[in-house]
Structure 1
């Protein structure tokens, strides 16, 4: 089974959005999907309301999700760890135990966009722009999984 973990800073905007997008777009595929943050500031909290609202406008439901921090066991539980930006990648790599799944940027799956980072909408306020990038990258990730059989 393919297990996918999305990682952002606080797990209240980008990574829960990516979790909901992939779950919706990959419905019917044999996937386990989760999300977390590099920090634990929001542990147990729901996603940020503007993220919930932006996702809902496109048919994604984030309301049941709750923030959590990445753990060492995640590197062994998930076959794919996809992070939102280079800062999250550095933080996640610094926590990777020996033999763990190596994280990579989510936007690696949308190379035609010419971007590496999904800006944090907590700061940019561009929730729709983040969603555009997340949807494109999730589409690319699904194509990659399908091509691998």
Structure 2
């Protein structure tokens, strides 16, 4: 799960998907393409909206996306086109590039983006939560088949 700063969208996506899959079989993590918040907890508004839905993401620690993530993960979900481009630009080969997907394409292949709620009011975070939750329902159901 990758967004720009790893404090708003991707921590929510990590927490949501983790709550829907078997952690002994599927490892979920998040990162940012920018290194602005390395070592910090997620944005308090992301923590708040997650908590309102019964999830605790407060212990997550922001990190920067690294080329080694292509080796560590089978699928890399980008929250928007800009981050998709940043990730694929760091790909070493076609196999790396093929791992990268826009998360909302899992539910609607229209290249829709999860908007960055950082500069929004509180309801922007709820909206983002709902979008990611819907995508993660589909992802989790598909992963159960493996």
**TM above 0.5:** yes
1:81-92 equivalences under 5 Å are 81-92=76-87
CA distance in 2, matches of 1:135, 1:67: 20
Alignment of 1:105-144 (within 5 A): 105-111=102-108, 116-125=112-121, 126-144=124-142
User: Equivalent residues in 2 for 1:1-149 (5 A)?
Assistant: 6-27=1-22, 30-98=25-93, 99-100=95-96, 102-111=99-108, 116-125=112-121, 126-147=124-145, 149=146
Listed one character per residue, the Cα deviations across residues 47-86 of structure 1 (whole Å, up to 9, x for unaligned) are 0001100110001111110100011100111001001011
Q: CA deviation at 1:142?
A: 1.2
Identify the structure with the greater strand proportion: 1
- Return 5+ residue gaps in structure 2 as ranges: none
1:115 CA displacement? 6.2
Kept after mapping to 2: 8 A contact 1:96/1:102: no
TM-score, length-scaled by structure 1: 0.89
Alpha-carbon contact 1:72-1:96 (below 8 Å) kept: yes
* Structure 1: gaps spanning 5 or more residues: 1-5
CA contact (8 A) 2:102 2:111 kept: no
Structural RMSD (CA): 1.7
- TM-score, L = length of structure 2: 0.90
CA displacement 1:7-43 (0-9 Å, x = unmatched): 0000001001100001111146611110000000100
